[in-house]
Every structure is written in C-alpha cells, then in structure tokens.
Structure 1
Amino acid sequence: MDKRLFAFCLGISSLMVWPWLPSPDTWLWLACLIVVSGRRRALACFLLGLMWAICFSHWQLSWLQYPTLFTRSQIIVAQVDALHSTRPHHSQLIVRLSHLNGQALSPKPKVLLNWQSQQPSPKNGQVIQSVARLRLPHGLHNPGTFASSRWLLGQGVTAQASISGVLSASAPAPNEGVRARAVKALREHTQHLAAQPWILALTVGDRSGLTRGDWELLRGLGISHLFAISGLHIGLVAALGLLVGRLTGRRWLAGLLAVALALIYAWLAGFSVPTQRALLMLVLWLGIWLWGRFWSGWRILLATCTLLLSVQPWLVLNQGFWLSVVAVSAILALAAWQKTRSLWRLQLGLSLLLLPLVMLIFGGLSWLSLPVNWLLIPLFSVLLMPLLLMAALLLAPAPLLSHALFWLVDFLLHHLMSLLQALHTLASPWLWLTEAQLGLILALLLLPFLLLPRARSISILGITVALLAQWPAPHWQVRVLDVGQGLSVLVTQGKQALLYDTGNRFSSGFNMADAVILPLLRRLGVSELEYMVISHNDQDHSGNRDYLAKVLPIKHRLGEWHLGQKCRAGQHMQWGRLSLTILWPVQLTGHSNNDSCVMRISDGQLSVLLTGDIEARAEYALLATQPLLSSQLLISPHHGSNSSSTSAFIQAVSPRWGVHTAGFNNRWGFPGAAVKERYAQQNIEQLVTGELGMVHFISQDEQWHLMTHRRSAVWYHQLNAWLQHTKPLE
C-alpha cells in the first residue's frame, strides 16, 4: 500500500518539472497505459497521479482562454476568500470569481486582486462586483528573486487583476461572518496588549500586524515556524482535548473532543496548508487508534499527502507544503534511527536534515537557530500555547478569567520578544550565502551519505554539482536584470560590481531593490558597489537610488545624483581591466530621456553599450559627435520604443546582440514591431527580459557567450506560450 500511495503522489509531483503543459487528450493515452499495466500497481498509481495532475491543471486553467480576457477590462463578480496583504490605501485580496461579464464560471477561479482605493478594502466573505483588468500570473525571473508565478499557482490562483472601479459590495456571507466575528472579538479584547500582533498570529493565524523588523527577527533566529499555525499548535490543541476526554474514561469521547478542538482551531486559522496537513494526520491517527489498528507514521504521512494532493494537486508548487512534509519525514526518520525520546537529539537531527532545504529556499541560514529553538519549543509547548489556548476558549464563557490569562501571556510574550530582539540586534545571526558557499556546504552535508551504498551514487552526483559552483568566474560578466518595465544592468569583474540604473519603486512598498537587486548581489557575494550610474531621473530607472545608497557602500556615484559626478561626454575612468567611457550627454537639453547617461564599457576586445532612454534626436547627435560606438552587446534605447533605435544608430553600433528591457505584456507594447524589424534587418539577435527573465552574458574567448537561452523551462513560467498553443521548447 505504501508504494502505491508514494507512486500516486510522485505522479502528481511530476508537474513541478513539466517543460510544458501536456495536451488535455493525454489523459486518454495514460488511461490506456493504466489498463495495460497489469499487476504493476505502483506504475498504475503513478500514471493515475500524472493523469489527474494534467486533467486538474487544464480544468483550472480553461477559463483563461476566454476571448479578449487580457486585452480589455472585464466586469467581474467575486467573493473575497482572504486578505493577502494590507497597507494604507492598498490591499491584495484573494477572490473567487463566480461571473465574468455576466457569464457564470465553473470552476470558480481564484484571482489575486490589487485594491487601490481611499475606501476600506472588502472583508472576507463579501461579494463584490467590479471592473477589473486581468493578467496572467507572471513573475520576475532572476537568480534569488521570489518565484511569484509558482507561488500563485501553489495557492490555486490562476490570474491577477487590478481594480479600476467598484460597482457594488454585499455583506459577508453568514458562515464567513462567524469566523470574522470571532476574530473581531479577539482583536478587540487584546487591542490594549503590547503583544497583540504575536497573540493574533498564534491564535487565528493573522500575521498582518507583524512589521518588517518582526519578520527579520523571525528569520534571523529561525523561529518563523513557531508563529505559523502548524502541526505543533494543532497537536497541542488535540492533546488538550484528549486529556479532558480521557478523564471521562471513554476513549471515543476523548478522540472526538480532540478532533473537534483541532478542527475549530484550524478553522480559526483559516485552514492554511500546514494546518490542513496536521489536521488530516491527526484525524487519520485518531481514527486508526479508535479502530484498534496500527499504521506506521510513514503510511499516515503518505495517506495525508495523497488526500491533500487529490483535492489540490497544485500544492506541490507550495513551498510550505514541502517544508511540512520534509519536517515530518525527518522526525519519522530520526525516531526510527535514534530509538530514543531525547528531545535535544531530535531537535539537532531535525535541524541538520532541514538545513539543505532551508538554505535552498531562503538563501541563507541562522547560526543561532538550534540553541534558540531548544529553549523556545519547550517554552511554547508547555507554557505559552496552553495559556493562550485556554484564554481564547474562555473568551466567551469567562471573559474576566480570559482577560487575566491574556494579560499573563502578553507579559511573557512582550518580554520574551524584547529579549529576542536584543539578541538578534547584538548577534546578527542570519548569514546570507553566496552560490559558492551554498554549493560547498551542500557538498559537506552530502559527504556522510557516501557511507550508505544505496545513496552513494546520488551523493556523488550532488557533490560533483555542488563543487562545480566553485569553478573560477569569467573575466567579466553582464547581467541585464528582469525588473519589469524598467532598467537595471549589473556588470561584474570578480567580486567588484557596477550597477547601471535601479529599476522602479512603487507606492505599495514593492521595489526592485529588495525583490531583485539585493538578492542577486548576495548570491554573488557582492557587498559593495564600485560604481552606481543613474542614467536619468525617470522613476523606472532611478526609483531605488537613495534606498540602495543607504544599505550598500558605494564608492563612485555617476549620473543623476544629488551628490555625485554628473555624466558628460568625454569622461573616462579605468576600472580594473575595464574602461568606462561616457559618450553622452554633451550638455543638458532639459529633455529627460535625451539627457540619459550613455556609457560604453570595454576590455579592449568586448564591449557593451548602455543607452538609458535616449531617443532618435540624441541618437543622431551621438552619430555626429562620437566616432566609436561599435559594441557587440547593445542594451536597446528606451526599452525598444518606436521613438528610438533608428536604423542609422543600430548600423553604427553594429551589435551581435540587442537586449530590450521591456516588461512582460507591458501596456506600451515595447519592444515595438517596427523596432524589432529594424534589428532583424541587420541580422541582430534580439532578447527581451520580460520574456526570458534576466539576460546573462559572460566574456569567454574574446566573445560574448549567452547564458540565458530561454526562460526557466517549466510550464507554469510559460502560460503565455500555452495560451498561444505553442510548446516553449520548440
């Protein structure tokens, strides 16, 4: 049975690596293979999981083929499922569409809705009718950048939308109102407590009150799991129910009470993925216990995963799901191996087994995580969580006693978090890892597996791949970052770096410095910038200028800075083996785009031309004043706008590669069709960051070698190609 359950889960999990989404007719061929597989039941279960994943994916995505869905505004009717994030005048809601332009939808797709309004955002359960602009769940694609498209599908979200008008909004549905009233009562009861954000996170899973500094604290000390309602919290609630139920002497009553309390707690927490997994495992274990049978922990885990993935196969795209599964698997493996109930040994083994996954997902590790968790897990399990749960349960029947317990929890949590904050500030425990460091640590962690014959080949392969990360870097490299509709180019030689423009920064708080630039610099081990060049003052080029100057040491500032060296034609700087030459402007004209700082970087053999947003007028002036424009690599002016990239300019530069820094499906239609035709007429290979993600070139054998040949070859990164009925690998 275990092999069949594992094979079914493996078949569904294969959707993580599909290069494209198979045709919906594939299910028929898979069904035939299942029939002829005979007694190979594990193979049949694998094919069944694969078939279900394909059918489910097409079923969920079928509505995206609605005519003109992404080309004009739509009238939608949707019910609010959850608040994803809330800021002043800006919220993100996960809604479920019931009607599109008056037509009922089945299934009802989930959409991530951006709400920007002076009015309060809708509440959970409300039904809204609105005019919205829909777009595909497309994310930025750079090393270290959060994979938003994968995250969205992992939440069941198949599109994003922006509100352009609200027509009506109803009252919350009755079933949603019960939870909303309970959360509201708890919020009002604890509003005077200093530790209210932590209390709400632990009781109802509402972490909206946590600040950025709070999240940095949780990550830095490796204790985020303590404030995300999961198996630990569900287990404590169930244990409380078992304890009370066993006092009656009736086994079935104890199990029923444990399930009821756990179900209520999971409902209050919004049935997040970790709570679903923990609740299912609890119900299975209690059901088998009451039945008088025995199932191993592995079988219960496999059965839980099978049930979850049968309902929502896209959970395999959710990192939280895999963290939960790997954590439980590690506990089961350690329990079987150690044959002991030593808590500290279990915690040590669990930390080591989870370390590779944590490093790969978060790009770093906390050297204080282990000792801090040794202290906090017993404290939360034995003291804080029981007190908090009792306070929440007594809120309605005994408000005075509940208030006293909340006051005690507030006192303990407030002082505990203050001590942890002081420890975090003093020790700075979070260590960001470069690609080379990550590869070396993973190689060291895989060494013990060489002693296991069955795992030897896998460990040798992993160690080889990890050690390849230590290979010396090329002489210099150019990375044209995917920052949406904007520009940012990173030029490196060794650990030294030059950044040309910084991408955009938005009123919602989202910015390309935190999302793209800083994660990439950390992966490369770059801790300071030799040069930062700002081409001109447009927000999509200079939006993160001041912020980056606060968080990074910058030796030389060029271009549009309040304090720095202005760009003027004729300036020349030597940076290691590279020469930096400013070609434009000769003098400021007052036209922001045409005053862009144009820079040519060369090692004497290879060169790259960075052009900002210059237009035809500046291009013709460059042709008249600069005899040396030729460069093998050209970052096209003004993102490929029709107002730039004249035929004469392209011919003078004569590049082999032309990179258009245009956002995916941008409203201006960059790069323009006429521009692409002009480049094509001169046999120049063109690349678009919005389609490929970050474009990476390395210098090798006196030539530019392109490292980015296509966007990550996984189907959920290429839904646009799927909609156009093409396979991205063809």
Structure 2
Amino acid sequence: MSLGFVIGVVVTVFYYQTLEFTVITISILIVSTYFKPFLTVLLGFICGICCVAAHFILFYSFELPNQHEKYAYSVNVVVEEVISSTPPQYVKVKITRLEDSEYSQFRAPNALLSINSTQPIQPGDAFTAQVRLKNFRGIKNFTVFDSQLYAFTQKIAFKGTVLNKQLAIYNRPQNNHIVAYRTYVKKLVSSAELNWLYYVLLTGDKSLMTFEHKQLMQSLGLSHLLAISGLHISLVFGFCYFAVRCFLKLIKPELNQSLNIAIFYSAAGFVAAFIYVYLSDFIISATRALIMLGCYLLLYYLAKQALRWRSILYALVIILAVNPFSLLNPGLYFSFLAVCIIFMVLKQFPLRGHSLLANIRTLFIIQLGLFIGLLPLSLYFFNGVSLAGLVLNLVAIPILSFVLMPALFLSVLLGLLTDWHAFIVLYDFPLTYIYQMLLAIPQHIRWLNVGQVSITTVVLLYSVVPLLYFIELRVLACIPLLTLLSNYYFTQSSLWQLNVFDVGHGLMVLIKKDKHAFIYDFGPSYFNRFSRVPSVLLPYIDAHNLTVSTSIVSHQDNDHAGGVAHFKAAGYAWSFDYFHPNGVYNDCIATTRDFNGLSIQTFAKEEFNNSNDNSCIVKISAANYSVLLTGDISKTRESQLIKKKDDLQSTVLISPHHGSDSSSSDEFIKAVNPTIVIHSSAYQGQWQFPSKAVVERYNKINAKQYSTGDVGQVRVDFYAKHLELTTARAQESYWFIKD
C-alpha cells in the first residue's frame, strides 16, 4: 500500500492530465483485477491521487476575487522575509486577509510585494494596506532557474505593489524560542572570522552567508555540509545517545533487567535531534532527516531488526503525505538516494568497532559511493560536479563530525554560563586557515562543468544499479548504457540555434554554433541592482558549456542594455571589442564577421535624433536560413533600410520595438518576408505589446508569431533542410501551474 501511495503521488504530480497518467492508471487497474495481492497497491495509488488533490485545493489554489473589476485589494499581511531593504523594499509576506476572505497562518498564501516607503520593514511586522495584486507569473526559460516553479513550492500565489505611502506597522507574536536562540547564537559567534559558517550549522539560517560563500562551497562540493540534513541529525542523535549511555554507566542506576535500555538512549537522542530541528525552524531538509530517523528507530525496535529499506519507504510516505509537492524539491532525491547508497555500502562493508582500518576503509567506500551514486543527479540539477569534493569530503566530514560540531555544541552550552568567546578562537583560527587554503584552489579543479544532462540520461544511468543489484544475469545492465551510446551517436544535432529569452519587457538573444555563443542585448535591470544576466544568461551559458565569442548592444535603453554591467563584471567585457571598438556605450560599427561559419552583418546608418532608430541591426545568415535582429527601430529607420536596398529578407525576424505599432510597416514586412516572427515582450505588460495592428500585419503574410510573454523562451534549431521551433512553456509546463 505504501508503494502504491508513492507511485500515485509521483504519477499525479508529474503526469496528471497527460497520456502517461491514463496509461499507468489503467495498467494498475488491470493488474489489480487479475492479481488480488495488487489490490492494496491500487488502494495506495488512489490515496496518493487524493492526497495530491487535497493539498492542491487547500494550500495552492488561490484566486483573486473579481480580478477584472478590482484595481487594488485590501489585505492584512505578515512579513516573512525582507528580500531587499533598499527602497523600494521587496518583501515576502503571508496574506492573512484578502478582501473578505481570512486565512489561518497555517493555510495563508504568500506574496511578493514592493513597498515604496521610507519605513524600515522587518520580519514579523504586520500591517493593513491597499495592494495592487496579480497572480504570480514568472519568466520561463530553458535549463535555468524556474522562478514560477520555485514560487509554487514556496506557496507564493501573488505579487504586487503596496500603494500606501505610510503604513501602520505592528508586530505579530513570533516564535520567541527560535528568535531568542538565533539572537544568542549570532552574538556568541559574532567575533569569529567564520561566524557565517558556525551560525548556519547551529541554526540552519543562511542569512549571514554571502553569495560568494555559497558559490565557493558549491564549487568545492561542500554545500551539503551547510544544509542541516541527515548528517547533522545523525550527529546530534549520536552525541546524545552516547552521552546518556555514558552518564547511566557512570551513575549505575538500578534498572529492571527486562528493559531494553537502548530504547532510552535512542529516545534521548531523538529528543535532542527534535530540539535541533525545532530550533532550525523545521527547515525542509532537517525535517525530512528527522522523519527518516524516527521511522528507522520505530521499525528497529518494533520489528527487532534493522528493516532499512522499509524505513526509507515509510519515511517517504510520511513526507509525501505531509506535502506531496516536495517531489519538486531536488533535495528530496539527494537525501533519499544518499541514504540508499549508505545502506548498500554498509551491507557489504559493515562498520566493526574492533577494526579501525576496516572502518576507515568503509567510510572511504561510503564517500566514493556517494560521489558516484549522486553524480547523475548533480549533473542534471547543477550541470557539473565538484572534482575537489571527493577528496575534500574525506577530510571535511570527519572534521565536521568529530571536531567542529562537538565544539559548537559545547560553545553553546558553555556560553550560557559565562563568556566563552576565547574558546571559539581555539577552533576558529585553524579553520580560518583551512578556509583560506580552499580559496586558493583553482576554479578548474573545484568544478567541472559538463553542460546540460537530460532526464533520460539520468534515468538510464540509475537503471543500471537495480539490474546489477537484483538480477543474476548482470549482462542486462549493458542495455541502458548501450541505449545511451546509441542515443548520443544517432541523434541528429542542429547546425545552429537561435534563443530568444523570456526577460519580461526587454530583449536578450543568444545564437549558438558549435558550443560558441553570440549575444545580442542583455535585457532590463531593476532598481539599478538586479538584471536578467546573472539569473538567465550566465546560467544558460554555463548549463550548455558555451564559450562567448562576441557580443552586441543594440542601443542604450534599459530594457536592452540593463544587464551590460553585470555581463562585463562576469569577465566578458572583451566580447564587445569587435562591434563596439569605441566602447560598449557607443553605437556598433557597420561590418561583417564570420562566426563559426555563420555570417554576422551589421548595417550602416545615418545618425538619428533618438536612440531607438540608432539601434544596431544585425543579420545572421547561413546557407539556407537567416535571422534579423532589429532592436527598437521605428518606421523611419525601416524606410531608410528599404531605400538603401539592404538585403533584409530573413527566415526569422525579431520584431522591431517588441511589436510596437510605431514599427513593422507593411513595406518593411514585405522586404523581410519572414516565416517566423518573435515578439520579445512582457506578459500583459503596460504597453500591451505586441500591438494588435502589428499582429494583423504579420498575419497577412501568414507568418507564425510567438510572444515570449505568452510562450516563454523561444528556441529555433536550424538543420540542413528544416528548422524546429520549441517554446519553454509548451515543453516544460505542469498542470498545477497556470501559464
């Protein structure tokens, strides 16, 4: 029944409203009809479907009342997190009242709000305000961070702007134990050089970590040490288990011989682990590990044997019953797979208390098994793997387990009695020295970027393990590997590729040819602090392991050049030199350049009195297909291009000025004669691009039109005799997210 429940949840979350869901459901029904033992599987399967439906209705299906009538809504909110404290402030809030609907703290939806007020906002603040709200809808691009999926997992249903200039803020009651504990720990480690490390290990709160800290730890394969998970929970459990055991042996109490005293040791360890998770505010990874520990202990003592695989299954059932959409969290797969790998290694190489060398060998094999076993997941989710992580974890895990964590717990306890900052220095100094050594490790040794790995590749790689582990005819394990090889050698790859990213109101284009990239425009920036370059462009380049060859900025409007500063800061300032020899903030020159067999041509122009018409127009041409990039030119510049008899005819056109009616004249459309037109525009943006008149003009020539605001990133693959167009929202969509 538990197995059926897990299958029901997985199939419903990922395949509901698809052919796969129907086929799997009918198959289970047929098997259960003819094989009675499968009736419990069917019952669990139905329970899984009902569980997903119930959670979605209760916690995720929120709608704005009378959307077409309301301009602003009256809401009561409680601030959960301050994302940006610089005005305009950006906060994550929990909505406890929306118009006449009130929600409990348990069920209340979250929202992201922009607050243009001089009043400082803190977590825990509550206020009533008039808010311009709309359903949360993020941008959608291939193989990069999916903001809309993440928002769903965080129950972020809305986003909007607070209209009040002054807010009557009051403080809502908070969990004083957790707040007091975090304040105490923050003060305790404040003088330490690595205070951010100690703070996150003791509280699970990463607010003291900088982006550079997180990036370094990930590249070194040590980021899992900072997430309170199975390792940390088992350490707390183990410390308390052996502490209580030693204490009872020391005092030698008179106990009934029939009692299993190990139950008391385990209960004490579990209570300590629960307190640790409670003080970490029940973060997902810690809660997941605590549930797994609880299931293992219950089965161990009730069944009188270590039913490891059953404990994993029951823990998974509990986690999915609490929140079936936790399947969308990559940490779930890393956690459960890591435990499975450890169990498999321990079955073959058990830890033996009397043999130190054998135990060291087992620990080494466990680390090697974790590295190999988690490798496909790492490649899929992070597009690479830490080369240094295999060696560093052999040193870091023992240091964390037997030195750092005991020292931190001792510091917390001693700090309650007296000022023990001097004690922290004893381990802070050598750890700081080690951290400086880690900084000196070259980047190419820290992290190997292999590019995008498909889910099919991951599934085939993991299918090798059960074939080797459970089937006597182990030669069958070659089948998935042969499938991978044949798929690699016989799948046709495109000759080159056009990518028009979804960046809201703005433009960002990448042309890919033979693992090299040409970039045209960099999307908008917001509040002079954020842009789409770090969140979309750079991750996409890393995910596909591309080498940037050259770049062009069409003109200096924010929606086209907003991300230039971030792109230059990432080390790509040189990429503008060819087309912008006078500097990136000057217009491009008229020239032609070969780009791995493609022709990149920029057009000469007269000087106009506006930046839009001074946009750099680029034509990328191959033998059979071409793409025209037009910036924000208007009908005036279009007319000039036609008079100069420039070769404008192209297969794909990025519509001028996002589809504005000030552009795309009938004469220009006739001269270009595109088969495909892509409008780079925001979803329901304030200018309502593309204009209906423009859409109608392109319809007259039967051009296929796509708006990034509607369909997400548009990718066009060019082959020798045909092209293929795919969109992010069509290919990567879920039934529970309304696009």
Q: If the length of structure 1 is used for normalisation, what is the TM-score?
A: 0.87
SS class of match (1:567)? coil
> Which whole-Å CA distance do the structure 2 matches of 1:592 and 1:64 have between them?
41
After superposition, what is the alpha-carbon deviation per residue over 1:151-203, rounded to whole angstroms, capped at 9, x for unaligned? 222233333344444633221414x2332122112222322222211111111
| Residue pairs, 1:18-417, within 5 angstroms | 18=15, 20=17, 39=37, 40-64=39-63, 66-68=65-67, 72-81=71-80, 83=81, 85-86=83-84, 88-89=86-87, 93-105=91-103, 108-115=107-114, 119=118, 122-165=121-164, 167-174=167-174, 176-246=175-245, 247-248=247-248, 251=262, 253-288=264-299, 291=302, 293-339=304-350, 341=359, 342-396=362-416, 398-400=417-419, 402-417=420-435
Residue identity matched to 1:567 = C
Cα pair 1:79 1:127 within 8 Å, conserved:
yes
| Residue pairs, 1:433-472, within 5 angstroms | 433-435=450-452, 453=471, 460-461=479-480, 463-465=482-484, 468-469=487-488
Cα pair 1:12 1:309 within 8 Å, conserved:
yes
- The structure 2 residue matched to 1:429, chosen from 439, 443, 446, is 446
The answer to whether the aligner puts 1:554 opposite 2:575 as a matched pair is yes
The answer to whether the aligner puts 1:8 opposite 2:5 as a matched pair is yes
Residue identity matched to 1:536 = H
Residue identity matched to 2:184 = A
Are the structure 2 counterparts of residues 59 and 244 from structure 1 closer, same or farther at C-alpha, using a change threshold of 3 Å?
same
Pairwise CA distance, 1:581: 2.9
Which residue of the partner structure matches residue 646 of structure 1? 665
Cα pair 2:387 2:445 within 8 Å, conserved:
no
Residue identity matched to 2:507 = L
Residue identity matched to 2:738 = L
Are the structure 2 counterparts of residues 648 and 284 from structure 1 closer, same or farther at C-alpha, using a change threshold of 3 Å?
same
Cα pair 1:109 1:157 within 8 Å, conserved:
no
> Which whole-Å CA distance do the structure 1 matches of 2:282 and 2:397 have between them?
23
Compare 118-127 and 29-38 and name the one that shifted more.
Answer: 29-38
> Which whole-Å CA distance do the structure 2 matches of 1:31 and 1:77 have between them?
47
The answer to whether the aligner puts 1:634 opposite 2:631 as a matched pair is no
SS class of match (1:696)? strand
Are the structure 2 counterparts of residues 110 and 663 from structure 1 closer, same or farther at C-alpha, using a change threshold of 3 Å?
same
Which residue of the partner structure matches residue 258 of structure 2? none
Compare 414-423 and 12-21 and name the one that shifted more.
Answer: 12-21
SS class of match (1:298)? helix
Pairwise CA distance, 1:465: 4.4
> Which whole-Å CA distance do the structure 1 matches of 2:170 and 2:87 have between them?
20
Which residue of the partner structure matches residue 723 of structure 1? none
Pairwise CA distance, 1:456: 7.1
Compare 641-650 and 402-411 and name the one that shifted more.
Answer: 402-411
Compare 101-110 and 186-195 and name the one that shifted more.
Answer: 101-110
Cα pair 1:155 1:315 within 8 Å, conserved:
no
> Which whole-Å CA distance do the structure 1 matches of 2:168 and 2:478 have between them?
59
Pairwise CA distance, 1:451: 5.3
After superposition, what is the alpha-carbon deviation per residue over 1:329-360, rounded to whole angstroms, capped at 9, x for unaligned? 22222223444551111111111101110111
SS class of match (2:715)? strand
Gaps of at least 5 residues in structure 2 are 20-24, 254-260, 352-358
> Which whole-Å CA distance do the structure 2 matches of 1:171 and 1:140 have between them?
34
The answer to whether the aligner puts 1:583 opposite 2:582 as a matched pair is no
> Which whole-Å CA distance do the structure 1 matches of 2:716 and 2:343 have between them?
45
Cα pair 2:58 2:107 within 8 Å, conserved:
no
Which residue of the partner structure matches residue 727 of structure 1? none
Cα pair 2:96 2:103 within 8 Å, conserved:
yes
Compare 98-107 and 84-93 and name the one that shifted more.
Answer: 84-93
Cα pair 2:669 2:698 within 8 Å, conserved:
yes
Pairwise CA distance, 1:533: 1.3
Pairwise CA distance, 1:494: 1.9
Compare 96-105 and 221-230 and name the one that shifted more.
Answer: 96-105
> Which whole-Å CA distance do the structure 2 matches of 1:219 and 1:472 have between them?
34
Cα pair 1:501 1:541 within 8 Å, conserved:
yes
> Which whole-Å CA distance do the structure 1 matches of 2:295 and 2:45 have between them?
23
Q: CA RMSD in A?
A: 3.5
Which residue of the partner structure matches residue 725 of structure 1? none
Matched residue pairs, number?
Answer: 704
> Which whole-Å CA distance do the structure 1 matches of 2:497 and 2:735 have between them?
29
Are the structure 2 counterparts of residues 524 and 29 from structure 1 closer, same or farther at C-alpha, using a change threshold of 3 Å?
closer
> Which whole-Å CA distance do the structure 2 matches of 1:87 and 1:413 have between them?
32
After superposition, what is the alpha-carbon deviation per residue over 1:612-665, rounded to whole angstroms, capped at 9, x for unaligned? 011233223333333532212110111112322233322222111000111233
After superposition, what is the alpha-carbon deviation per residue over 1:262-300, rounded to whole angstroms, capped at 9, x for unaligned? 222112212111110111223333445565744512222
> Which whole-Å CA distance do the structure 1 matches of 2:102 and 2:33 have between them?
40
> Which whole-Å CA distance do the structure 1 matches of 2:232 and 2:88 have between them?
32
> Which whole-Å CA distance do the structure 1 matches of 2:275 and 2:467 have between them?
47
Which residue of the partner structure matches residue 356 of structure 2? none
> Which whole-Å CA distance do the structure 2 matches of 1:518 and 1:546 have between them?
13
Pairwise CA distance, 1:206: 1.7
Pairwise CA distance, 1:515: 1.8
Cα pair 2:576 2:584 within 8 Å, conserved:
no
> Which whole-Å CA distance do the structure 1 matches of 2:707 and 2:452 have between them?
26
After superposition, what is the alpha-carbon deviation per residue over 1:186-232, rounded to whole angstroms, capped at 9, x for unaligned? 22232222221111111111212222221221011100011111111
> Which whole-Å CA distance do the structure 1 matches of 2:33 and 2:464 have between them?
42
Pairwise CA distance, 1:132: 3.2
Cα pair 1:144 1:516 within 8 Å, conserved:
no
Pairwise CA distance, 1:384: 0.4
> Which whole-Å CA distance do the structure 1 matches of 2:68 and 2:29 have between them?
35
Compare 598-607 and 215-224 and name the one that shifted more.
Answer: 598-607
Aligned identity (percent) is 26
Compare 556-565 and 61-70 and name the one that shifted more.
Answer: 556-565
Cα pair 1:485 1:661 within 8 Å, conserved:
yes
Pairwise CA distance, 1:389: 1.3
Which residue of the partner structure matches residue 611 of structure 1? 630
Cα pair 1:237 1:389 within 8 Å, conserved:
no
Cα pair 1:505 1:511 within 8 Å, conserved:
yes
After superposition, what is the alpha-carbon deviation per residue over 1:655-685, rounded to whole angstroms, capped at 9, x for unaligned? 1100011123333222222322222232111
Runs of 4+ in 1 over 6 A off after TM superposition: 28-38, 436-450, 454-459
Compare 546-555 and 693-702 and name the one that shifted more.
Answer: 546-555
Are the structure 2 counterparts of residues 500 and 201 from structure 1 closer, same or farther at C-alpha, using a change threshold of 3 Å?
same
Which residue of the partner structure matches residue 25 of structure 1? none
Residue identity matched to 1:489 = V
Pairwise CA distance, 1:7: 2.1
> Which whole-Å CA distance do the structure 1 matches of 2:727 and 2:651 have between them?
17
Gaps of at least 5 residues in structure 1 are 23-27, 721-730
Are the structure 2 counterparts of residues 555 and 29 from structure 1 closer, same or farther at C-alpha, using a change threshold of 3 Å?
closer
> Which whole-Å CA distance do the structure 2 matches of 1:34 and 1:127 have between them?
54
Cα pair 1:608 1:631 within 8 Å, conserved:
yes
> Which whole-Å CA distance do the structure 1 matches of 2:486 and 2:213 have between them?
36
After superposition, what is the alpha-carbon deviation per residue over 1:526-585, rounded to whole angstroms, capped at 9, x for unaligned? 2231x31110001221123243245235274425962588435x644444543333335x
Residue identity matched to 1:269 = S
Which residue of the partner structure matches residue 256 of structure 2? none
Pairwise CA distance, 1:391: 1.5
> Which whole-Å CA distance do the structure 1 matches of 2:181 and 2:530 have between them?
32
Are the structure 2 counterparts of residues 491 and 564 from structure 1 closer, same or farther at C-alpha, using a change threshold of 3 Å?
same
Residue identity matched to 1:206 = D
Pairwise CA distance, 1:524: 3.5
After superposition, what is the alpha-carbon deviation per residue over 1:84-114, rounded to whole angstroms, capped at 9, x for unaligned? 7456457664432211024213673332424
Are the structure 2 counterparts of residues 304 and 508 from structure 1 closer, same or farther at C-alpha, using a change threshold of 3 Å?
farther
> Which whole-Å CA distance do the structure 2 matches of 1:717 and 1:51 have between them?
15
